[in-house]
């Protein structure tokens, strides 16, 4: 039991700092970035929105776990499905820190190829999503209007922390935990030295690297010494780049959240884009580019990743904070569930101001009806009220209506 528990705890503590960073960035973007940014640059399914999201994500220092809450926050704020996928692909593959580490250990060609590969795969994945799984009018995300956003630095920081470490963890925390468990199980099951044994078969090595690294957690910087060590043991440069792309680009936790929030078709396009891009660029390195560009120094490198030499104190603290936030979200959900059962089938009346026409009425009625637990909704435009029947907390209805741009309070 101990040999299975320790690797999982090490994985949890390794990922926790990046997850917390991702939740923090999600909160900051939610509270400080104006809604017009998402509406103006990331709302469309066209190539312009995809390119803006990809360029926005390439320099950010977020790994495949830290990018999840940030991307989901962007989606909720108004980013299109295509732009969200583009951001999810480009961001975790690279960053300023990982590019510098790549240049130091693998050489300048690798350092230049990494951000270029991240950008290309993000553009392809976002474009394909826009063509194959484009948003419909009914799926358009509900965003908080700028007029409803908090004013003043203190209020904005409070909103950022509440949104990042309460709302987002409540929404996707369960799927992150399931993904962590699966990623840990896969990491334990893969034998040491398996990938290095495929060095004389580049394509087989790429496919094996892709299948094994995609569900596991590898941070962009931590994947560099692993790639260097495997190349010294015989893995081809192209297969090493597949590791540098597919490993940081996704993991099991990311797959579960994307499938849950964006849908299975979007998940399929997302994975296919990463796989095709990684294999295609890997084959180009092994068969088209000069081998001299990818020669490594003769120094012996040991395969290490984030936390592989032991858990640092700051990683342990981050792991404890992350677990505490998950527990708080769990108990909050339990409390809400008990409250919803108590209020089941109770009809509540809400006074809504700001509805001007039947379109406003239909918009409010449709969005309230989509809330979990709502049995029926009746909106009276002339009286400015909504009668909601079902097991749904009043706070959720009021918050949703405010996000639509109206004022709302329980009558």
Quick check: helix, strand or coil at residue 381?
Answer: coil
d(CA 149, CA 146): 5
pTM comes to 0.59
Contact present, 111 and 99 (Cβ < 8 Å): yes
Q: For the chain, what is the domain count?
A: 2
Let me know whether 37 and 82 are in one domain: yes
Let me know whether 255 and 352 are in one domain: no
Contact present, 29 and 73 (Cβ < 8 Å): yes
Range of the domain at 400: 344-410
Let me know whether 162 and 192 are in one domain: yes
At 149 the pLDDT is 56
At 300 the pLDDT is 33
- Residue 379 phi, psi (nearest 5): -105, 125
User: For 136, which DSSP code?
Assistant: P
Ranking 1-5, 49-53, 147-151 by mean pLDDT, the lowest is 147-151
Quick check: helix, strand or coil at residue 309?
Answer: coil
Contact present, 218 and 248 (Cβ < 8 Å): yes
Let me know whether 325 and 362 are in one domain: no
SS (HEC) of 207-255: HHHHHHHCCCCCCCCCHHHHHHHHHHCCCCHHHHHHHHHHHHHCCHHHH
pLDDT score of 275 more than 90 = yes
Let me know whether 319 and 356 are in one domain: no
Residue 336 in domain: no
The CATH number of residue 402's host domain is 3.30.70.100
Torsion sign (Cα): 89, 93, 97, 103: negative
pLDDT score of 147 more than 60 = no
Q: What's the token pair of residue 98? A: 């990982």
Q: What is the mean pLDDT of the chain?
A: 78
Let me know whether 218 and 354 are in one domain: no
Express as a percent the part of the chain with pLDDT over 90. Answer: 13
Contact present, 82 and 206 (Cβ < 8 Å): no
Q: Grade residue 392 by pLDDT with cuts at 50, 70 and 90.
A: confident
Let me know whether 350 and 323 are in one domain: no
At 39 the pLDDT is 56
Higher pLDDT, 296 or 267: 267
Residue 338 in domain: no
Contact present, 214 and 274 (Cβ < 8 Å): yes
Exposure class string for 133-147: b at 16+ Cβ within 10 A, else e: bebeeeeebebbeee
Let me know whether 181 and 209 are in one domain: yes
């Amino acid at each position: 039991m101990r040999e299975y528990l320790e690797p999982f705890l090490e994985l949890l503590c390794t990922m926790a700092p990046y997850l917390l960073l991702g939740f923090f960035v999600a909160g900051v973007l939610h509270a400080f970035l104006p809604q017009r940014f998402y509406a103006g640059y990331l709302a469309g399914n066209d190539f312009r929105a995809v390119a803006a999201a990809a360029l926005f994500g390439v320099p950010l220092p977020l790994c495949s776990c830290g990018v999840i809450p940030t991307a989901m926050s962007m989606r909720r704020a108004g980013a299109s499905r295509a732009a969200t996928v583009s951001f999810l692909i480009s961001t975790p593959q690279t960053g300023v820190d990982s590019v510098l580490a790549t240049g130091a250990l693998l050489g300048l060609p690798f350092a230049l190829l990494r951000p270029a590969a991240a950008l290309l795969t993000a553009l392809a994945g976002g474009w394909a999503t826009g063509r194959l799984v484009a948003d419909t009018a009914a799926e358009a995300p509900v965003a908080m209007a700028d007029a409803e956003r908090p004013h003043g630095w203190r209020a904005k920081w409070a909103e950022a922390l509440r949104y990042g470490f309460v709302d987002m963890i409540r929404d996707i925390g369960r799927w992150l935990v399931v993904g962590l468990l699966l990623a840990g199980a896969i990491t334990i099951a893969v034998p040491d030295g398996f990938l290095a044994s495929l060095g004389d078969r580049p394509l087989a090595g790429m496919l094996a690297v892709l299948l094994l690294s995609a569900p596991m957690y590898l941070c962009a910087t931590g994947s560099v010494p692993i790639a260097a060590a495997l190349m010294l043991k015989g893995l081809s440069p192209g297969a090493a780049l597949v590791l540098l792309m597919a490993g940081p680009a996704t993991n099991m936790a990311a797959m579960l959240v994307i499938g849950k929030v964006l849908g299975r078709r979007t998940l399929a396009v997302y994975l296919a884009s990463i796989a095709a891009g990684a294999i295609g660029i890997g084959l180009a390195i092994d068969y088209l580019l000069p081998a001299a560009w990818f020669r490594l120094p003769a120094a012996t490198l040991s395969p290490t990743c984030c936390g592989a030499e032991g858990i640092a104190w700051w990683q342990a603290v981050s792991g404890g904070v992350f677990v505490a936030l998950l527990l708080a979200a769990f108990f909050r959900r339990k409390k809400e569930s008990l409250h919803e059962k108590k209020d089941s089938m109770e009809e509540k009346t809400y006074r809504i101001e700001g509805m001007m026409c039947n379109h406003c009425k239909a918009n409010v009625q449709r969005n309230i009806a989509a809330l979990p637990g709502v049995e029926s909704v009746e909106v009276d435009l002339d009286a400015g009220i909504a009668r909601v029947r079902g097991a749904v907390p009043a706070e959720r209805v009021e918050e949703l209506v405010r996000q639509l741009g109206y004022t709302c309070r329980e009558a």
